[in-house]
Amino acid sequence: MAGAIFPVTMPKWGIEMQEGTITDWHAQLGQHVEKTAALLDVETDKIVNTVESPVAGVLRRIVGATGETHAVGALLAVYADASVAEAEIDAFIAGFRPADASFEPADSAPTVALDTPPAPAPRSTEGEPHVSPIARRLAEKLGVDLSGIVGTGPNGRISKEDVEAAAARQVPVIAADDVNRSTRARMSAMRLAIARRLVESKQTIPHYRLEITVDASALASRRAALLGGGSKVSVNDLLIRACGLALVRNPALNAHCEGDDVITFERADVCVAVATEQGLMTPVVRGANVKSVQEVAAITVDLATRARGGALRREEITGGTFTISNLGMYGLDRFDAIINPPQVAILAVGAARESLVVRGGSTEAGSVMTLTLSCDHRVVDGATGAKFLATLKELLQEPSAL
């Protein structure tokens, strides 16, 4: 790529992606980066992807700093030959306009050849310091006077970090007793994606909820028998298996609502809500209706472990047909869950708790569990949701088939 300036832009992964957050740079300024080498990590829609270098070249400018969120197509970095002047790179950055919202291969990405006259550099004002575009924008936002900053970049160039340091020095000192100290942090890309989807769900889906109490004594016995036989199975694994069977018997809930269309699936791909430090993730157990509970258990352990480590692939968190959210381990008796669009229902599972139950006309000590089903009333009528819960209750109270 000698003799050219090459832009690196925010890639687009999937039709729903609008922006991404830079979590790490693997290359440093001035470094020669080989084609396909890891260049930076971008967090988007609950997962972190590594952007590979689209060409081989020298990384001359990093426009997007770690922790910043940029729209798809935004300029993140610039490659250029060592012979390219800083002013020419400044002019390229100032005049850059994203051509599209995709991350194209190197042979189709735009470049600026240096054998043609470069775009004129922005007119400089006498006495104005040499400053990067992102630092200039930040200074305007924070009200920092650039003339009082000594740049630490190449040739005394003022960087974003220089502006941030100057802004910190401008903050007045306030006595500790007079202020309640606080911190402000931008939501992560994952948390922003979760927030958007939940707002969309609550604003566009007419939720209603159905609740049923299940005698969980037989379920506990079934799990104990499996554990005794060497199978490491949780109550949640049994619930996933039971939901898989109940969904194929009640296919109206094993569906997506997309615009005016309802898509009903033959296979039950059950999402399992997993709490991570970054936010809630819902990896998918494919074909829960045809897998044994032991197979479900092995899959859920693997998915949950990799979810908490941020190592899930995109295909492992998309395409689910139904979701289970279990907060019973936190001692909650019952709760409501918000539907994960385009799915049409979600099951909230409370804790198994000791209670008196009626069996064969007599009352005895037992264990019960409350299940709350949230349904999309556009697609699932009350009677349809109730039938699903009745099927699920039967499977859980007579779990020999699980």
What is the reported pLDDT for 3? 58
- Strand ranges for 244-340 from DSSP E: 255-258, 261-264, 270-272, 274-276, 279-281, 284-285, 322-326
User: Which member of 24, 302, 336, 381 is catalytic?
Assistant: 381
Regarding predicted confidence, which is higher, 88 or 193?
88
Per-residue pLDDT reduced to its tens digit, 281-321: 999 999 999 999 999 999 999 999 999 888 888 889 999 99
Per-residue pLDDT reduced to its tens digit, 124-134: 444 455 787 77
The pLDDT confidence band at residue 141, using thresholds 50, 70 and 90, is: confident
Q: Decide if 252 is inside a domain.
A: yes
CATH of the domain at 349: 3.30.559.10
Domain that holds residue 284: 190-401
* Averaged pLDDT for residues 206-226: 95
CATH of the domain at 72: 2.40.50.100
- How is residue 187 written in tokens? 């939501």
Regarding predicted confidence, which is higher, 150 or 264?
264
Regarding predicted confidence, which is higher, 325 or 310?
325
Domain identity same for 79 and 200? no
Catalytic residue flag (residue 377): yes
What is the reported pLDDT for 357? 84
Identify the domain boundary among 103, 123, 143: 123
Identify the domain boundary among 123, 138, 164: 123
Domain identity same for 203 and 106? no
Domain identity same for 315 and 209? yes
What is the reported pLDDT for 107? 40
What is the reported pLDDT for 175? 52
Domain identity same for 205 and 304? yes
Identify the domain boundary among 73, 88, 123: 123
Highest averaged pLDDT of the listed ranges 94-103, 151-160, 390-399:
390-399
Compute the mean pLDDT over every residue in the chain, rounded to the nearest whole number: 85
pTM of the model: 0.65
Q: What does 109-174 look like in DSSP terms, one character per residue?
A: S--EETTSPPPPPPPPPTTPPPB-HHHHHHHHHHT--GGG----SGGG-B-HHHHHHHHHHHSPP-
Q: Decide if 261 is inside a domain.
A: yes
Per-residue pLDDT reduced to its tens digit, 34-63: 999 999 988 876 677 889 999 999 999 999
